[in-house]
Amino acid sequence: MFTGIITDIGEIQAMKQEGDLTVRIGTSYDIDSIDLGASIACDGVCLTVVAMGTEPSGWFDVQVSAETVSKTNLDVWSVGRRVNLERALKVGDELGGHIVSGHVDGVALVSMLREEGDSTRVTLDAPPELAKFIAPKGSVALNGTSLTVNEVEGPSFGINFIPHTKAVTTWGQVAVGDRVNLEIDTLARYVARLNEVMG
- Whether 8-87 shares its CATH topology with 106-198 is answered yes
pLDDT of residue 115: 95
Half-sphere exposure of 114 (CA within 13 A, CB side): 9
Residue-wise pLDDT tens digits, 11-62 = 999 999 988 999 999 999 999 999 999 999 999 999 999 999 999 899 999 9
CATH T-level topology, domain 8-87: Elongation Factor Tu (Ef-tu); domain 3 (2.40.30)
In whole numbers, what is the pLDDT of the chain averaged over residues? 93
Question: Is 126 within 8 Å of 157 (Cβ atoms)?
Answer: yes
DSSP states along 83-126: EEEEEPP-TT----S--B-S---EEEEEEEEEEETTEEEEEEE-
- pLDDT band with cut points at 50, 70 and 90 for residue 1: confident
Arch. (CATH architecture) of 106-198: Beta Barrel (2.40)
The answer, yes or no, to whether the previous bond of 127 is cis (omega within 30 of 0) is: no
Q: Where are the domains of the chain?
A: 8-87, 106-198
Is a pLDDT exceeding 90 seen at residue 91? no
Query: pTM of the full predicted structure?
Result: 0.92
Cβ–Cβ under 8 Å, residues 179 and 73: yes
Cα gap 59→78, rounded to integer Å: 16
pLDDT band (50, 70, 90) for residue 85: very high
Residues 6+ apart with CB under 8 A from 143: 43, 44, 73, 83, 84, 169, 170, 171, 180, 181
Q: What is the pLDDT of residue 193?
A: 66
Pairing assessment for the beta strands 82-87 and 8-18 based on DSSP bridges: antiparallel
The residue among 130, 155, 11, 147 whose CA lies nearest residue 71 is 130
Mean pLDDT is lowest, of 21-30, 109-118, 153-162, 185-194, for 185-194
C-alpha span between 95 and 23 (Å, rounded): 28
For the chain, helix (H) and strand (E) counts, in that order, are 4, 12
For residues 144-163, one letter each, b for 16 or more C-beta atoms within 10 angstroms of the residue's C-beta and e for the rest, the string is bbbbebeebeebbbbbbbee
**pLDDT computed for residue 76 by the predictor:** 95
pLDDT at residue 61, as a whole number: 98
φ and ψ at 160, to 5 degrees? -110, 125
